[in-house]
Amino acid sequence: MAAGNHGIRIVEVQHGVINDLHPGYGETFNKGRNLRECPDEYWVWDQESKKTLGKWCKDNIKVEIKGNMWLDRFIRRSPLDDVVRSALTHLPKLDPTKGTILVTSQSNLGFYLGAHSRCFIIGFFIEEYGADMWLC
């Protein structure tokens, strides 16, 4: 609120799941919320996240789909990006002759995949490991 009181625009960049069950973002938890406590804008990953926020965010709070910028960094990786290159050296060695189910949370692989990443990550793993990969 202090930043807003001084005319400084506040943007919250999505960093995890946004759905109706999340106390920070679900409509049930935010009915009657003082919207002065909210950012001026939310930058979200996808239409579902935007839809969830749209249930209670008023016209003066902008919600824009920007995609998952952190994940995009890995998909469109640059050879000059030391963080991505280092993280990718820690990928597990999988047997390409067997199907694999990868379950991730926000640890180990999850630090760059994210616990709530959507289907676009599947393409990344199919490219890396082959079509027998399932991501949960």
Residues 114-131 have pLDDT tens digits of 433 444 455 555 566 555
pLDDT at residue number 55: 92
**pTM, to two decimals:** 0.60
* DSSP symbol at 14: P
pLDDT at residue number 125: 57
Strands (E) in 26-76, as ranges, are 41-44, 62-65
pLDDT at residue number 111: 37
* Cβ 68 vs Cβ 33: under 8 Å: no
pLDDT at residue number 65: 94
Q: Residue 10 and residue 32: Cα distance in Å, rounded?
A: 20
pLDDT at residue number 32: 81
Positions in the chain short of pLDDT 50? 104-120, 132-136
